[in-house]
Structure 1
Amino acid sequence: MRSLALLLIALNLAFLYWHTFHREPAAPVFPSTEVNSHPGAARLVLLSERDEQSVYEPVGAGLRCETVGPLMDPDAAGSLQAVLEEQGALAGLRTSSREVVSAYWVFLPPQANRQAALQLARTLTGRGLEDLYVLNEGEQRNALSLGLFSEHARAVRRVRQVEALGYAPRIEARFRTQTVYWLDLVIPEDRIGSVFIPNGLGRMDRPCPAEVDVTGR
């Protein structure tokens, strides 16, 4: 019994000693993994950070894009292109085709036959109407041509003159294909105030191209 009591006392003394003097080992200290550990080095940005922090600028921001024209003369178009590029714009020259009125034809519709057309021509001439002739072929064969005019107003005056004699002439526009010239401009923001477009030309905004090189402009 005495031995058991001494053993318990010894165990208590051992526990007291361990609890008083024992210390847990300190956690190891590792060097920092911060990439920007050297002055002047760029800090690595994770993709998730970049998506949150970045402000994306669309291509063409800071540019003005427009189309100027049309110009009818290729030399005038080339000269204007050179002037605009000197002012700081990028000026691309392109062409397009369009149908334009070249003249206005005044006529009396085809008569039943050539004899009837010639008789009508003689009648009109006898009443003081000049500058007319009978067409001999084509879809308008045996029609009476009363004149070809470059201006619509002059064609209308001719119609009124013939109407006063009791007839009903017609006006038909004649067309031709015309080549016109356009300048597609790309103007850097810092040059907008320096680029001057001559009065009388049409100006239309247009989307800026996906890529444009303004180096040196």
Structure 2
Amino acid sequence: MRWFFVLIVMLNGVFYLAHKSERGFDVLSERLDLASSNGNIELLAERGGEAVEQPPRDLVPAPSASEEVCLVLGPYSGEADFESDWAGLPGLRVYLEEYERGADYWVYLGPYSSLAAATKMGGELRAKRIDNFVIRKGELKDAISLGVFTDAERAATHAKGLSKKNYEAKIRRIAKLANRYWLVFRGERGGDEYSRTESVMAKLQDNNKKLGEKDCNLIASYKQFD
């Protein structure tokens, strides 16, 4: 019976050691799992070979093309004035500009329904010693002019005087248009051709004409001279 008791004690010891070993393995496994899931930073590059997304770089603007501008020499009052300069610079073009060189202020009555009606009123005015003439063409055709002035105030004063005589005159501003010519080179600022042409055009300046640089859009309304 004694050996049987010793055998039971030995078996209990074996079971105890086996149970303790399994418990230690479980604790160690839990610690390893916690360590792998907490407190570590995983890089995208370390995950299955996936590419790391780089932050966007600042975009660098592409260099702009050379700016196109117009070199303008003038004004010339007529064809005879620019012909010699134009002949020496075959790369240039001539542009015609219509511009307002001044204005007149017309004091008038009418217009009337016909030339006959205007003539009749003109006779009435002359009988009262009011100078006038019948306008036969233009914007004020069949009206009666009572005076033409270059100054707006003088025209207004004259109209006021006629009002006192019971004639309600009107005032019309009539622009005086004229033509002038320009030699124009169109090209890229800073280019070789631009620099050469600018140098030649600069030598043609005098008291009446000057060389300048303009936005080509500003001369778009000019008429090209053939």
TM > 0.5 between the two? no
Which has the larger share of helix?
Answer: 2
The TM-score normalised by the length of structure 2 is 0.41
